[in-house]
Amino acid sequence: MANLSVNPKALVEGERPGLLNASYGKLMMWFFLMSDAFTFSSLLIAYGALRIRSIAQAVPWADPEQVFTHTPILYESFHIEAPLVFVGIMTFILILSSVTMVLAVEAGHRNSKQEVAKWMLWTILGGLTFVICQAYEWYHFIMGHDTGALKVLVENGLGGLRQETALLVAEPGVMAVKNFHGEILATGSTAFSNFINTIDLVEVYIKSGNAAQMVPDLIRYAQEYNAPEVAALLQTGLNEYGAEGMLTHGGANMLVNEYGPPAFANLFFFVTGFHGTHVFSGVVINFIIYINVIKGTYEKRGHYEMVEKVGLYWHFVDLVWVFVFTFFYLI
Amino acid sequence: MALTVQQRNIIKVTIILSALTILEFILAGTKDGIAGLLGWQPSTVSTLVLLTFLILTIFKAYYIVSEFMHLGHELRRMALSILLPFIFIVWLIIGMMIEGNYYGKLTKQEYDNEIGFQQTNTPDQELFVLKS
Protein backbone atom coordinates (compact mmCIF):
# COMPACT_ATOMS: atom_id res chain seq x y z
CA MET A 1 0.00 0.00 0.00
CA ALA A 2 2.97 2.27 0.47
CA ASN A 3 3.08 2.95 -3.27
CA LEU A 4 -0.41 4.45 -3.19
CA SER A 5 0.33 7.02 -0.52
CA VAL A 6 -0.08 10.55 -1.79
CA ASN A 7 2.78 12.99 -1.62
CA PRO A 8 1.12 16.25 -0.44
CA LYS A 9 3.52 18.28 -2.50
CA ALA A 10 2.50 16.40 -5.66
CA LEU A 11 -1.11 17.46 -5.21
CA VAL A 12 -0.13 21.06 -5.71
CA GLU A 13 2.84 20.69 -7.98
CA GLY A 14 1.14 18.54 -10.58
CA GLU A 15 3.70 15.71 -10.48
CA ARG A 16 3.10 11.95 -10.13
CA PRO A 17 2.08 11.01 -13.68
CA GLY A 18 1.22 7.41 -12.72
CA LEU A 19 -0.65 4.92 -14.86
CA LEU A 20 -2.78 7.51 -16.68
CA ASN A 21 0.05 10.00 -17.18
CA ALA A 22 -2.01 12.76 -15.58
CA SER A 23 -1.49 14.67 -12.35
CA TYR A 24 -3.77 14.14 -9.38
CA GLY A 25 -5.41 17.57 -9.79
CA LYS A 26 -6.14 17.07 -13.47
CA LEU A 27 -7.61 13.62 -12.90
CA MET A 28 -9.86 14.94 -10.14
CA MET A 29 -11.03 17.74 -12.44
CA TRP A 30 -11.88 15.13 -15.07
CA PHE A 31 -13.81 13.06 -12.50
CA PHE A 32 -15.74 16.15 -11.41
CA LEU A 33 -16.51 17.04 -15.03
CA MET A 34 -17.76 13.49 -15.65
CA SER A 35 -20.19 13.71 -12.75
CA ASP A 36 -21.30 17.15 -13.94
CA ALA A 37 -21.76 15.78 -17.45
CA PHE A 38 -24.03 13.05 -16.03
CA THR A 39 -26.13 15.73 -14.31
CA PHE A 40 -26.50 17.78 -17.48
CA SER A 41 -27.23 14.64 -19.49
CA SER A 42 -30.04 13.73 -17.09
CA LEU A 43 -31.56 17.19 -17.43
CA LEU A 44 -31.41 17.13 -21.22
CA ILE A 45 -32.77 13.57 -21.32
CA ALA A 46 -35.65 14.68 -19.07
CA TYR A 47 -36.30 17.44 -21.60
CA GLY A 48 -36.34 14.90 -24.43
CA ALA A 49 -38.61 12.45 -22.58
CA LEU A 50 -41.14 15.15 -21.63
CA ARG A 51 -41.09 16.57 -25.14
CA ILE A 52 -41.71 13.17 -26.71
CA ARG A 53 -44.48 12.49 -24.17
CA SER A 54 -46.07 15.81 -25.02
CA ILE A 55 -45.98 15.06 -28.76
CA ALA A 56 -47.45 11.58 -28.14
CA GLN A 57 -50.30 13.30 -26.28
CA ALA A 58 -50.84 15.55 -29.32
CA VAL A 59 -50.03 18.56 -27.17
CA PRO A 60 -47.76 20.76 -29.29
CA TRP A 61 -44.36 21.60 -27.82
CA ALA A 62 -42.95 25.12 -28.06
CA ASP A 63 -41.38 26.21 -31.35
CA PRO A 64 -38.00 27.81 -30.50
CA GLU A 65 -38.11 29.98 -33.61
CA GLN A 66 -41.22 31.68 -32.26
CA VAL A 67 -39.98 31.85 -28.66
CA PHE A 68 -36.48 33.29 -28.95
CA THR A 69 -36.97 36.24 -31.27
CA HIS A 70 -35.60 39.15 -29.25
CA THR A 71 -32.28 40.66 -30.28
CA PRO A 72 -30.88 43.79 -28.61
CA ILE A 73 -31.12 46.99 -30.72
CA LEU A 74 -33.07 45.18 -33.46
CA TYR A 75 -35.97 44.72 -31.06
CA GLU A 76 -35.68 47.90 -28.95
CA SER A 77 -35.10 50.33 -31.82
CA PHE A 78 -36.75 48.76 -34.85
CA HIS A 79 -39.20 46.18 -33.41
CA ILE A 80 -37.76 43.56 -35.73
CA GLU A 81 -38.21 39.94 -34.64
CA ALA A 82 -35.08 37.97 -35.49
CA PRO A 83 -35.46 34.30 -34.54
CA LEU A 84 -32.38 32.71 -32.95
CA VAL A 85 -30.02 35.54 -33.99
CA PHE A 86 -29.21 36.54 -30.43
CA VAL A 87 -28.64 32.99 -29.25
CA GLY A 88 -26.33 32.48 -32.23
CA ILE A 89 -24.30 35.49 -31.07
CA MET A 90 -24.21 34.09 -27.52
CA THR A 91 -22.92 30.76 -28.84
CA PHE A 92 -20.14 32.56 -30.70
CA ILE A 93 -19.18 34.55 -27.61
CA LEU A 94 -18.84 31.34 -25.61
CA ILE A 95 -16.90 29.50 -28.32
CA LEU A 96 -14.53 32.47 -28.69
CA SER A 97 -13.98 32.64 -24.92
CA SER A 98 -13.15 28.93 -25.08
CA VAL A 99 -10.60 29.72 -27.80
CA THR A 100 -8.97 32.47 -25.72
CA MET A 101 -8.83 30.00 -22.83
CA VAL A 102 -7.00 27.41 -24.91
CA LEU A 103 -4.62 30.16 -26.08
CA ALA A 104 -3.94 30.97 -22.41
CA VAL A 105 -3.13 27.30 -21.78
CA GLU A 106 -0.84 27.30 -24.82
CA ALA A 107 0.94 30.45 -23.56
CA GLY A 108 1.30 28.68 -20.20
CA HIS A 109 3.24 25.87 -21.88
CA ARG A 110 5.71 28.52 -23.05
CA ASN A 111 5.79 30.06 -19.52
CA SER A 112 4.81 33.41 -20.98
CA LYS A 113 3.22 35.15 -17.99
CA GLN A 114 2.05 38.23 -19.88
CA GLU A 115 0.32 36.28 -22.63
CA VAL A 116 -1.41 33.97 -20.13
CA ALA A 117 -2.73 37.02 -18.27
CA LYS A 118 -3.90 38.65 -21.49
CA TRP A 119 -5.82 35.59 -22.73
CA MET A 120 -7.27 34.88 -19.26
CA LEU A 121 -8.64 38.42 -19.17
CA TRP A 122 -10.31 37.97 -22.57
CA THR A 123 -11.82 34.69 -21.34
CA ILE A 124 -13.24 36.37 -18.25
CA LEU A 125 -14.70 39.18 -20.37
CA GLY A 126 -16.28 36.64 -22.73
CA GLY A 127 -17.83 34.76 -19.82
CA LEU A 128 -19.24 37.92 -18.27
CA THR A 129 -20.69 39.01 -21.61
CA PHE A 130 -22.36 35.63 -21.95
CA VAL A 131 -23.96 35.89 -18.49
CA ILE A 132 -25.26 39.38 -19.32
CA CYS A 133 -26.68 38.09 -22.61
CA GLN A 134 -28.43 35.31 -20.72
CA ALA A 135 -29.98 37.86 -18.35
CA TYR A 136 -31.39 39.68 -21.40
CA GLU A 137 -32.74 36.43 -22.80
CA TRP A 138 -34.36 35.44 -19.49
CA TYR A 139 -35.95 38.87 -19.17
CA HIS A 140 -37.65 38.57 -22.55
CA PHE A 141 -38.53 34.91 -22.00
CA ILE A 142 -40.32 35.85 -18.77
CA MET A 143 -41.98 38.98 -20.14
CA GLY A 144 -43.12 37.40 -23.41
CA HIS A 145 -44.17 38.97 -26.68
CA ASP A 146 -46.33 42.00 -27.34
CA THR A 147 -49.28 40.50 -29.17
CA GLY A 148 -52.55 40.61 -27.26
CA ALA A 149 -54.53 37.48 -26.59
CA LEU A 150 -56.63 35.94 -23.88
CA LYS A 151 -55.07 32.99 -22.15
CA VAL A 152 -57.06 30.11 -20.76
CA LEU A 153 -55.42 27.54 -18.56
CA VAL A 154 -57.03 24.21 -19.20
CA GLU A 155 -56.58 21.40 -16.78
CA ASN A 156 -57.87 17.95 -17.55
CA GLY A 157 -57.83 15.29 -14.89
CA LEU A 158 -54.77 14.49 -12.87
CA GLY A 159 -52.47 17.23 -11.69
CA GLY A 160 -50.22 18.47 -14.43
CA LEU A 161 -50.50 15.48 -16.72
CA ARG A 162 -53.16 16.62 -19.13
CA GLN A 163 -52.55 20.25 -18.45
CA GLU A 164 -52.91 22.28 -21.59
CA THR A 165 -52.84 25.91 -22.41
CA ALA A 166 -54.75 27.48 -25.23
CA LEU A 167 -55.01 30.97 -26.52
CA LEU A 168 -58.51 32.38 -26.67
CA VAL A 169 -58.29 35.02 -29.33
CA ALA A 170 -60.93 37.65 -29.85
CA GLU A 171 -60.80 40.00 -32.78
CA PRO A 172 -63.80 41.93 -34.09
CA GLY A 173 -66.16 39.35 -35.57
CA VAL A 174 -63.98 36.34 -34.69
CA MET A 175 -63.67 34.38 -31.50
CA ALA A 176 -61.43 31.37 -31.63
CA VAL A 177 -59.38 29.03 -29.50
CA LYS A 178 -55.88 28.63 -30.90
CA ASN A 179 -52.93 26.55 -29.85
CA PHE A 180 -49.37 27.87 -29.46
CA HIS A 181 -48.68 27.56 -33.16
CA GLY A 182 -51.61 29.77 -34.09
CA GLU A 183 -53.64 26.86 -35.46
CA ILE A 184 -57.33 27.29 -34.78
CA LEU A 185 -58.72 24.54 -32.54
CA ALA A 186 -62.30 25.73 -32.51
CA THR A 187 -64.27 28.58 -34.02
CA GLY A 188 -67.89 29.27 -34.83
CA SER A 189 -70.71 28.92 -32.31
CA THR A 190 -71.24 25.13 -32.23
CA ALA A 191 -67.63 24.03 -32.46
CA PHE A 192 -66.66 26.68 -29.98
CA SER A 193 -69.20 25.76 -27.31
CA ASN A 194 -68.45 22.05 -27.85
CA PHE A 195 -64.78 22.72 -27.23
CA ILE A 196 -65.46 24.85 -24.18
CA ASN A 197 -67.70 22.15 -22.71
CA THR A 198 -65.02 19.46 -22.93
CA ILE A 199 -62.52 21.32 -20.76
CA ASP A 200 -62.38 22.68 -17.25
CA LEU A 201 -61.55 26.34 -17.30
CA VAL A 202 -59.31 27.15 -14.43
CA GLU A 203 -57.91 30.61 -14.91
CA VAL A 204 -58.18 33.40 -17.39
CA TYR A 205 -55.44 35.86 -18.16
CA ILE A 206 -55.51 38.86 -20.44
CA LYS A 207 -52.05 38.95 -21.95
CA SER A 208 -51.61 42.53 -22.93
CA GLY A 209 -53.34 45.30 -24.82
CA ASN A 210 -56.11 47.53 -23.60
CA ALA A 211 -57.71 45.44 -20.84
CA ALA A 212 -60.42 47.95 -19.94
CA GLN A 213 -61.77 47.68 -23.47
CA MET A 214 -60.77 44.10 -24.19
CA VAL A 215 -62.57 42.36 -21.31
CA PRO A 216 -66.06 43.78 -22.00
CA ASP A 217 -65.51 43.05 -25.72
CA LEU A 218 -64.58 39.46 -24.91
CA ILE A 219 -67.65 39.01 -22.74
CA ARG A 220 -69.82 40.27 -25.59
CA TYR A 221 -68.11 38.00 -28.12
CA ALA A 222 -68.45 35.01 -25.80
CA GLN A 223 -72.18 35.61 -25.45
CA GLU A 224 -72.55 36.10 -29.21
CA TYR A 225 -70.67 32.89 -29.87
CA ASN A 226 -72.83 30.85 -27.55
CA ALA A 227 -70.18 30.31 -24.86
CA PRO A 228 -71.91 31.39 -21.66
CA GLU A 229 -69.26 29.62 -19.52
CA VAL A 230 -66.54 31.84 -20.84
CA ALA A 231 -68.70 34.92 -20.47
CA ALA A 232 -69.57 34.01 -16.88
CA LEU A 233 -65.93 33.30 -16.05
CA LEU A 234 -64.82 36.60 -17.51
CA GLN A 235 -67.60 38.44 -15.68
CA THR A 236 -66.53 36.85 -12.37
CA GLY A 237 -62.94 37.89 -13.02
CA LEU A 238 -64.04 41.39 -13.93
CA ASN A 239 -66.14 41.74 -10.78
CA GLU A 240 -63.44 40.39 -8.52
CA TYR A 241 -60.24 41.90 -9.88
CA GLY A 242 -61.31 44.58 -12.35
CA ALA A 243 -60.06 44.61 -15.94
CA GLU A 244 -56.59 45.84 -15.02
CA GLY A 245 -56.31 43.18 -12.33
CA MET A 246 -56.76 40.47 -14.97
CA LEU A 247 -53.93 41.87 -17.02
CA THR A 248 -50.78 39.85 -17.29
CA HIS A 249 -48.00 40.12 -19.78
CA GLY A 250 -48.06 36.52 -20.87
CA GLY A 251 -44.48 35.32 -21.05
CA ALA A 252 -43.53 32.55 -18.68
CA ASN A 253 -43.47 31.48 -15.06
CA MET A 254 -43.25 28.09 -13.36
CA LEU A 255 -46.98 27.34 -13.73
CA VAL A 256 -47.93 28.64 -17.13
CA ASN A 257 -46.24 30.07 -20.20
CA GLU A 258 -47.34 31.38 -23.56
CA TYR A 259 -44.99 29.15 -25.57
CA GLY A 260 -45.93 25.57 -24.80
CA PRO A 261 -46.57 23.09 -21.98
CA PRO A 262 -45.50 24.23 -18.47
CA ALA A 263 -42.62 21.73 -18.53
CA PHE A 264 -41.02 23.68 -21.39
CA ALA A 265 -40.53 26.85 -19.33
CA ASN A 266 -39.59 24.88 -16.20
CA LEU A 267 -36.86 23.02 -18.07
CA PHE A 268 -35.71 26.18 -19.80
CA PHE A 269 -35.26 27.88 -16.42
CA PHE A 270 -33.60 24.85 -14.86
CA VAL A 271 -31.21 23.89 -17.67
CA THR A 272 -30.13 27.34 -18.86
CA GLY A 273 -30.09 28.55 -15.25
CA PHE A 274 -27.90 25.64 -14.19
CA HIS A 275 -25.62 26.28 -17.15
CA GLY A 276 -25.54 30.01 -16.36
CA THR A 277 -24.52 29.16 -12.78
CA HIS A 278 -21.65 27.15 -14.22
CA VAL A 279 -20.60 30.04 -16.45
CA PHE A 280 -20.73 32.44 -13.51
CA SER A 281 -18.72 30.18 -11.21
CA GLY A 282 -16.31 29.62 -14.10
CA VAL A 283 -15.83 33.38 -14.37
CA VAL A 284 -15.15 33.58 -10.62
CA ILE A 285 -12.64 30.69 -10.72
CA ASN A 286 -10.97 32.16 -13.83
CA PHE A 287 -10.66 35.48 -12.02
CA ILE A 288 -8.97 33.86 -9.02
CA ILE A 289 -6.49 32.11 -11.33
CA TYR A 290 -5.99 35.38 -13.24
CA ILE A 291 -5.02 37.14 -9.97
CA ASN A 292 -2.58 34.30 -9.23
CA VAL A 293 -1.05 34.63 -12.70
CA ILE A 294 -0.59 38.39 -12.20
CA LYS A 295 0.95 37.79 -8.77
CA GLY A 296 3.42 35.37 -10.33
CA THR A 297 2.35 32.34 -8.27
CA TYR A 298 2.66 29.96 -11.22
CA GLU A 299 5.83 31.61 -12.50
CA LYS A 300 7.47 30.74 -9.16
CA ARG A 301 6.01 27.24 -9.34
CA GLY A 302 7.57 26.81 -12.77
CA HIS A 303 4.45 25.64 -14.64
CA TYR A 304 0.93 26.80 -15.42
CA GLU A 305 -1.00 23.59 -14.79
CA MET A 306 -3.67 25.40 -12.76
CA VAL A 307 -4.55 27.33 -15.92
CA GLU A 308 -4.99 23.98 -17.69
CA LYS A 309 -7.32 22.74 -14.94
CA VAL A 310 -9.62 25.78 -15.01
CA GLY A 311 -9.32 25.55 -18.78
CA LEU A 312 -10.81 22.05 -18.62
CA TYR A 313 -13.74 23.39 -16.60
CA TRP A 314 -14.26 26.31 -18.98
CA HIS A 315 -14.23 24.09 -22.08
CA PHE A 316 -16.72 21.81 -20.37
CA VAL A 317 -19.09 24.77 -19.87
CA ASP A 318 -18.72 25.50 -23.60
CA LEU A 319 -19.34 21.83 -24.41
CA VAL A 320 -22.57 21.81 -22.39
CA TRP A 321 -23.73 24.93 -24.20
CA VAL A 322 -23.20 23.21 -27.56
CA PHE A 323 -25.75 20.58 -26.46
CA VAL A 324 -28.14 23.07 -24.81
CA PHE A 325 -28.01 25.17 -28.01
CA THR A 326 -28.95 22.17 -30.14
CA PHE A 327 -31.73 20.81 -27.95
CA PHE A 328 -33.36 24.00 -26.67
CA TYR A 329 -32.88 26.34 -29.59
CA LEU A 330 -32.43 24.40 -32.81
CA ILE A 331 -34.58 21.28 -32.59
CA MET B 1 4.89 37.07 -34.68
CA ALA B 2 5.33 33.55 -35.95
CA LEU B 3 2.60 31.18 -34.85
CA THR B 4 3.51 28.00 -33.01
CA VAL B 5 2.20 24.64 -34.23
CA GLN B 6 -0.25 24.56 -31.34
CA GLN B 7 -1.60 28.02 -32.17
CA ARG B 8 -2.13 26.98 -35.80
CA ASN B 9 -4.07 23.95 -34.58
CA ILE B 10 -6.21 26.14 -32.29
CA ILE B 11 -7.06 28.46 -35.19
CA LYS B 12 -7.98 25.45 -37.35
CA VAL B 13 -10.34 24.07 -34.69
CA THR B 14 -11.85 27.54 -34.16
CA ILE B 15 -12.66 27.80 -37.86
CA ILE B 16 -14.21 24.31 -37.87
CA LEU B 17 -16.38 25.05 -34.80
CA SER B 18 -17.50 28.41 -36.21
CA ALA B 19 -18.31 26.90 -39.60
CA LEU B 20 -20.40 24.11 -38.02
CA THR B 21 -22.29 26.65 -35.85
CA ILE B 22 -23.01 28.89 -38.85
CA LEU B 23 -24.17 25.85 -40.82
CA GLU B 24 -26.57 24.88 -38.00
CA PHE B 25 -27.87 28.44 -37.81
CA ILE B 26 -28.48 28.63 -41.57
CA LEU B 27 -30.19 25.23 -41.59
CA ALA B 28 -32.52 26.28 -38.74
CA GLY B 29 -33.49 29.43 -40.65
CA THR B 30 -33.99 27.85 -44.08
CA LYS B 31 -35.47 24.40 -43.39
CA ASP B 32 -38.97 25.53 -44.45
CA GLY B 33 -37.49 27.12 -47.57
CA ILE B 34 -35.59 23.91 -48.39
CA ALA B 35 -38.78 21.88 -48.06
CA GLY B 36 -40.55 24.21 -50.51
CA LEU B 37 -37.64 24.34 -52.94
CA LEU B 38 -37.14 20.57 -53.20
CA GLY B 39 -40.84 19.82 -53.00
CA TRP B 40 -40.29 17.36 -50.14
CA GLN B 41 -42.63 16.79 -47.22
CA PRO B 42 -41.91 19.28 -44.39
CA SER B 43 -41.85 16.35 -41.93
CA THR B 44 -39.19 14.50 -43.99
CA VAL B 45 -37.08 17.64 -44.18
CA SER B 46 -37.39 18.37 -40.46
CA THR B 47 -36.37 14.78 -39.62
CA LEU B 48 -33.32 15.08 -41.89
CA VAL B 49 -32.47 18.49 -40.42
CA LEU B 50 -32.82 17.07 -36.89
CA LEU B 51 -30.41 14.24 -37.73
CA THR B 52 -28.00 16.76 -39.27
CA PHE B 53 -28.14 18.85 -36.08
CA LEU B 54 -27.34 15.81 -33.96
CA ILE B 55 -24.41 14.80 -36.18
CA LEU B 56 -23.01 18.35 -36.27
CA THR B 57 -23.38 18.63 -32.48
CA ILE B 58 -21.42 15.40 -32.00
CA PHE B 59 -18.72 16.72 -34.34
CA LYS B 60 -18.49 19.95 -32.34
CA ALA B 61 -18.35 18.02 -29.08
CA TYR B 62 -15.58 15.82 -30.54
CA TYR B 63 -13.43 18.83 -31.48
CA ILE B 64 -13.95 20.56 -28.10
CA VAL B 65 -13.14 17.44 -26.08
CA SER B 66 -10.33 16.18 -28.30
CA GLU B 67 -8.51 19.44 -29.08
CA PHE B 68 -9.53 22.10 -26.53
CA MET B 69 -9.70 19.72 -23.59
CA HIS B 70 -6.69 17.90 -25.00
CA LEU B 71 -8.15 14.45 -24.43
CA GLY B 72 -7.14 13.37 -27.93
CA HIS B 73 -3.49 13.86 -26.95
CA GLU B 74 -3.68 12.01 -23.63
CA LEU B 75 -2.93 8.32 -23.22
CA ARG B 76 -5.50 6.08 -24.84
CA ARG B 77 -6.39 4.37 -21.54
CA MET B 78 -6.85 7.81 -19.92
CA ALA B 79 -9.24 8.93 -22.70
CA LEU B 80 -11.18 5.65 -22.57
CA SER B 81 -11.59 5.75 -18.79
CA ILE B 82 -13.22 9.16 -19.19
CA LEU B 83 -15.37 8.31 -22.21
CA LEU B 84 -16.53 4.72 -21.66
CA PRO B 85 -18.88 5.47 -18.71
CA PHE B 86 -20.99 7.54 -21.12
CA ILE B 87 -22.27 4.27 -22.57
CA PHE B 88 -24.74 4.43 -19.67
CA ILE B 89 -25.96 7.81 -20.95
CA VAL B 90 -26.63 6.30 -24.37
CA TRP B 91 -28.68 3.62 -22.66
CA LEU B 92 -30.56 6.26 -20.62
CA ILE B 93 -31.35 8.30 -23.75
CA ILE B 94 -32.84 5.28 -25.56
CA GLY B 95 -34.74 4.15 -22.44
CA MET B 96 -36.24 7.52 -21.60
CA MET B 97 -37.28 8.31 -25.18
CA ILE B 98 -39.22 5.02 -25.34
CA GLU B 99 -40.68 5.65 -21.89
CA GLY B 100 -41.77 9.21 -22.75
CA ASN B 101 -43.56 7.99 -25.86
CA TYR B 102 -45.25 5.18 -23.91
CA TYR B 103 -46.58 7.49 -21.18
CA GLY B 104 -47.77 10.01 -23.75
CA LYS B 105 -49.92 7.40 -25.50
CA LEU B 106 -51.66 6.21 -22.31
CA THR B 107 -55.25 7.27 -21.78
CA LYS B 108 -56.12 8.92 -18.48
CA GLN B 109 -57.64 5.66 -17.15
CA GLU B 110 -54.58 3.63 -18.15
CA TYR B 111 -52.37 6.23 -16.51
CA ASP B 112 -54.40 6.03 -13.28
CA ASN B 113 -54.03 2.25 -13.26
CA GLU B 114 -50.34 2.54 -14.09
CA ILE B 115 -49.47 4.74 -11.13
CA GLY B 116 -51.90 2.95 -8.78
CA PHE B 117 -54.18 5.89 -8.08
CA GLN B 118 -57.92 5.95 -8.22
CA GLN B 119 -59.93 9.09 -8.62
CA THR B 120 -63.18 9.69 -6.73
CA ASN B 121 -65.42 12.60 -7.51
CA THR B 122 -67.24 14.20 -4.58
CA PRO B 123 -69.52 17.22 -4.99
CA ASP B 124 -67.04 19.83 -3.90
CA GLN B 125 -63.60 18.29 -4.22
CA GLU B 126 -61.66 15.58 -5.98
CA LEU B 127 -59.99 13.01 -3.78
CA PHE B 128 -57.13 10.83 -4.84
CA VAL B 129 -57.18 7.55 -2.97
CA LEU B 130 -54.33 5.08 -3.10
CA LYS B 131 -55.42 1.64 -4.20
CA SER B 132 -54.76 -0.93 -1.54
Element (H, E) at B54: helix B42-63
pLDDT (tens digit per residue) in B39-95: 888 778 888 899 999 999 999 999 999 999 999 988 899 999 999 999 999 999 999
Q: Which residues of B touch A324 (CB under 8 A)?
A: none
pLDDT (tens digit per residue) in B6-27: 889 999 999 999 999 999 988 8
Taking a C-beta distance cutoff of 8 angstroms, is the pair A30, B85 a contact? no
Residue B131, in any domain of the structure = no
Which candidate, A220, A242, A241, A239, places its Cα nearest to that of A231?
Answer: A220
* ipTM of the prediction greater than 0.90, yes or no: no
Residue B127, in any domain of the structure = no
Residue B118, in any domain of the structure = no
Q: Which residues of B touch A92 (CB under 8 A)?
A: 18, 21
Residue B39, in any domain of the structure = yes
Query: Looking at CA atoms only, how far is residue B130 from chain A in angstroms?
Result: 14
Of A255 and A301, which is predicted with more confidence?
A301
d(CA B118, CA B132): 10
pLDDT (tens digit per residue) in A27-86: 999 999 999 999 999 999 999 999 998 888 777 788 888 788 888 888 888 878 788 899
pLDDT (tens digit per residue) in A205-251: 555 556 667 677 777 777 776 667 667 777 877 787 777 666 655 67
Residue B48, in any domain of the structure = yes
Residue B102, in any domain of the structure = yes
Residue B96, in any domain of the structure = yes
d(CA A276, CA A33): 16
Q: Which residues of A touch B70 (CB under 8 A)?
A: 308
CB contact under 8 A, B64 and A331: no
- Is B48 exposed, middle or buried (CB count within 10 Å of its CB: 0-12, 13-18, 19+)? middle
Closest alpha carbon within chain B to A45: B93
Percent of chain A with pLDDT over 70: 69
Mean pLDDT of A175-196: 60
Mean pLDDT check: name the lowest of A130-139, A179-188, A264-273.
Answer: A179-188
Q: What residue numbers bound the domain in which B34 lies?
A: 5-107
Mean pLDDT of A87-105: 95
Question: Going from the N-terminus, what domains does chain A have, and what CATH number goes with each?
Answer: 24-144+263-330 (1.20.120.80), 150-250 (no CATH)
If one counts the domains in chain B, the total is 1
d(CA B65, CA B70): 7
Assess whether pLDDT exceeds 70 at residue A183.
Answer: no
Residue B129, in any domain of the structure = no
Which of A34, A326, A327 is the mutation pick for testing B, counting most B CBs within 10 A? Answer: A326
Q: What is the DSSP string of A52-115?
A: HHHHHTTPPPP-HHHH----TTHHHHH----TTHHHHHHHHHHHHHHHHHHHHHHHHHTT-HHH
> What DSSP character marks residue A179?
-
Pairing of β A164-171 and β B117-121: unpaired
Q: What is the DSSP string of A278-324?
A: HHHHHHHHHHHHHHHHHHTHHHHHT--HHHHHHHHHHHHHHHHHHHH
